[in-house]
Amino acid sequence: MTSIEAWFMDDSDEDHRMPHKLNPNEPVSLKELENIGVFYWKLDADIYETDPALEKIRKDRGYSYSDIITIDKDKLPNYEDKLKMFFEEHLHLDDEIRYILDGRAYFDVRDREDRWIRIAMTKGDLITLPAGIYHRFTLTETNYTQAMRLFVGEPVWKAYNRPADEFDIRQKYATDSSRACFFWVERDDSSSYMVVRLKRTLSWRYRAGSCCTRPSSCLSDSFKRPRYNRHTAALLFACRGEEREVIGLQGEEERPERPQK
């Protein structure tokens, strides 16, 4: 699969149609996008009306409704107002699915640390944003794109501007246990360590200790030991001040092999 281009954004207030890359650039991989629920396909937009690859995606994922929107000052009524609305940070109660048929555009999404990731969309790019993710949309300097909008069932156009944390779908997205990460933290005297589950996945650069996103392969055996004193507690770590759940505490004699970084 061709990888889409994405990167962490800077904090500049300049024209939001500019790339806004950091210096040096910090790219975001397709895998990292998938970890926050964003999925991507590269298709042939020239044959979108008869494309079997698109038809298969629609069938497999239940995208029964579609329409086409052209975002151009000469073709979209209330063009300026619509662009301002699209660029307001918001979420939807359903997935957002967009397929770029022509032109270019940006989708910006929040990662688990609330950092903006900019996703560059070009002709042939199909993307799905999960329900509950904060995001926004804008054109590039070309000021033009044409996109197919897809939905499961009847289209739902309602957007909820941030803050919208009261919705169940937002809470589910933010606390999805399938995106949790396990890692261990040694005490100063190296006599024991804590096995910790993050309540939300953080970027690798901010995790303390050694991490393992597949606990079944490195830590789960220790969970089954009779001597394991299982308990939970709220804990704040100095590294980021993020709340974590302490899964357990073990002594030196029970320490499993350290997971590789």
Q: Which segments are annotated as binding site?
A: 90, 92, 96, 135
Which residues, other chains included, contact 6 with Cβ-Cβ below 8 Å and sequence gap of 6+?
A: 27, 28, 29, 30, 32, 33, 117, 118, 119, 120
Structure tokens at 91: 């979420």
Map residue 27 onto helix, strand or coil.
Answer: strand
Q: Give the residue carrying structure tokens 């940006």.
A: 106
The residue among 111, 115, 87 whose CA lies nearest residue 9 is 115
Report the binding-site residues for Fe(2+): 90, 92, 96, 135
Structure tokens at 80: 């300026």
CA dist 69 and 145 (Å) reads: 8
The residue among 104, 117, 108 whose CA lies nearest residue 28 is 117
CA dist 104 and 80 (Å) reads: 17
Which amino acid type is present at position 242? Answer: E
Report the binding-site residues for Ni(2+): 90, 92, 96, 135
